Amino acid sequence: MSDLTSAGAAIGGAPVAGDGPTTDAPGGSGKERSASLWADARRQLVRDPVFMIAFLYILVVGSMAAFPKLWTSQDPRNCDTARSRIAPSGEHPFGFDILGCDYYSHAIYGARPSMVIAIMATTAIVVFGGVLGLLAGYYGGWVDTIISRVMDIFFSLPFLLGAIVFLTVIKRQNVWTIAMVLFLLAWPTIARIIRGSVISSKDLDYVHAAKAVGARNGRIMFRHILPNAIAPMLVYATIVLGSFVAAEATLTFLGVGLQPPAQSWGIMISTHQVYFLEDPWLLLFPCGLLVGTVLSFILMGDALRDALDPKFR
C-alpha cells in the first residue's frame, strides 16, 4: 500500500528541482516567495462561490451593524401606533411593526447588538480558551489536570439552562452581560480543541528538531505549535460566531436576553411571534436575516476547514 501513497505524492507535488548537487534555478529569482498554506487557502476561498456569497452576506450584515445610517435614513424610534402593522410598501420595504415603527430600520439597527455580542464573546473565548488550551496541552501534568477539571465543570452546565439561570440571577440584561454569559459557557470547547491540537503537534518531529537546536518554550509554542492550532481555532470561531448570533436571539426570545426598548432581531421575533398567522412578514423578515447570518457563518467555517486542510491538496 505504501507505493500507492507515494505514487500519490509523486502525482501531486512534482518536486521543483532535481535532487543532488545540480543547482538548476528556474529564473534564479532569489526574492520569490512561493505559495504558503495561507496563500493557497486564500486562493481557494476566493474561487469558492459558496464562501464568497456567505462572506458578502456577512459583510452586508456587518456594515448594517457598524454603519446603520448607510442603509436607512429612518429612525426606528419614530413610531406612530396609527401605522401599526401596515404591510410592506415601496417606501417602507418591511412595513411597520406593532407599535407603528418602521420595521426596516428596526431590522438594520437590530443587527448591531447581535453582532457585537457574538464578536465580543467569540474574541473572549478565543483568547481565554486559546491560552488555557495551549498551557494545558503544552505543559501537561498538573497544569493540564487542573485546567481540564475546570473545563469539565463548565462542560457539565447545560448551555441554555445555564444561560437562563445566570441572566435571571444577575437581572441586568444588556449586551455586556449576555456576551459574558455566552463566553463563560462556551470557552471550554475551544480550549479543548486547542489542547487537542497542541498535544498532537508537540510530538511532531520538527518540534523536537527545534528543541534539539535549543529553542525555548515560548518560541516552540508560538512558532511551531500554535500555528498548527490556529486553523482549527479559526474554523471553530467562525462557526461559533453564527451560533452566538442565534443564542442571543434565543435568549432574547425567551425573555432573559435584551429587553425593549433595545433593538435586536431577537426582540423583533419575540414581540411579533403571536402575529404570525395574520402578518407573517413581521416574523419572516427578522427570522430570514437571522438564519441567513447564522448559515453564512457556518458555511464560511466549512469552507475554511476545507481550504486550510493540507490533506485536500
Partner 1 sequence: MSDLVLETRNLVKHFPLTRGIVFKKQYGAVRAVDGVNLELRRGETLGIVGESGCGKSTLARMLVGLEKPTSGDLFVQGKNMSKVGAEERRRGRRNIQLVMQDPYTSLNPRMTVGDIIGEPFEVHPDVVPKGQRRAKVQELLELVGLNPDHINRYPHQFSGGQRQRIGIARALALNPEIILCDEPVSALDVSIQAQVINLLEKLQNELGLSYIFIAHDLSVVRHIADRVAVMYLGKVVEIGTEDEIYESPTHPYTQALLSAVPVPDPKLRGLRDQIVLTGDVPSPANPPSGCRFRTRCWKAQDICAEQEPLLQIRDKSGHPSACHFAEVRDVVHATE
Partner 2 sequence: MTDVNVKMDALAGVDPNALPLQVKNLQVEFRTRNGIAHAVNGVSFDLRAGETRAILGESGCGKSVTAQAIMGILDSPPGFVTGGEILYRGVDLLKLPESERRKVRANRIAMIFQDALSALNPVFTVGFQLAELFRKHRGMSRQDSKARAIELLDLVKIPAAKQRVNDYPHQFSGGMRQRVMIAMALALDPEVLIADEPTTALDVTVQAQIMALLAELQQERNMGLVLITHDMGVVADVADRISVMYAGRVIEEAGVDEIYASPAHPYTKGLLESIPRLDLKGQELSAIKGLPPALTNIPPGCAFNPRCRYAQEVCRKDPAPTLFQVSPSRTAACHFWKEVKGDE
Binding site for partner 1 (CB under 8 A): 13, 15-17, 19-21, 23-25, 28-37, 145, 204-206, 208-216, 219, 223-224, 227-228, 310
Asked if 229 and 197 touch (Cβ cutoff 8 Å), the reply is: yes
Tell me how crowded residue 168 is: count the other CB atoms within 10 A of its CB.
11
What's the number of CA atoms in the CB half-sphere (13 Å) around residue 249?
A: 26
Dihedral sign from CA coordinates of 137, 142, 146, 148:
positive
Asked if 173 and 167 touch (Cβ cutoff 8 Å), the reply is: yes
Min dist CB 179 to partner 1, Å, is 32
14 binds partner 2 (CB under 8 A): yes
CA distances (Å), origin 239, targets 102, 245, 300: 31, 10, 8
Min dist CB 24 to partner 2, Å, is 10
4 binds partner 2 (CB under 8 A): yes
What, of partner 1, partner 2, none, does residue 261 touch, CB below 5 to 8 Å by kind?
none
Tell me whether residue 79 or residue 234 sits nearer to partner 1 (CB atom): 234
Binding part of the chain for partner 2, among 17-25, 35-43, 137-145, 283-291 by CB under 8 A, reads 17-25
Tell me whether residue 90 or residue 310 sits nearer to partner 2 (CB atom): 310
Tell me whether residue 81 or residue 145 sits nearer to partner 1 (CB atom): 145
Min dist CB 28 to partner 2, Å, is 19
Min dist CB 27 to partner 1, Å, is 9
SS3 182: helix
What, of partner 2, partner 1, none, does residue 7 touch, CB below 5 to 8 Å by kind?
partner 2
All three cell numbers of 147: 485546567
Q: Which residue is it, cell 462542560?
A: 155
CA angle in degrees (0–180, nearest 5) for 6-305-194: 100
CA distances (Å), origin 130, targets 22, 75, 123, 225, 305: 45, 41, 10, 12, 18
What, of partner 2, partner 1, none, does residue 11 touch, CB below 5 to 8 Å by kind?
partner 2
35 binds partner 2 (CB under 8 A): no
9 binds partner 2 (CB under 8 A): yes
d(CA 208, CA 213): 9
Tell me whether residue 77 or residue 208 sits nearer to partner 1 (CB atom): 208
203 binds partner 2 (CB under 8 A): no
Tell me how crowded residue 4 is: count the other CB atoms within 10 A of its CB.
8
What, of partner 1, partner 2, none, does residue 1 touch, CB below 5 to 8 Å by kind?
partner 2
Residues of the shown chain interacting with partner 2 in the complex, contacts defined by CB under 8 A: 1-4, 6-12, 14-15, 18-20, 22
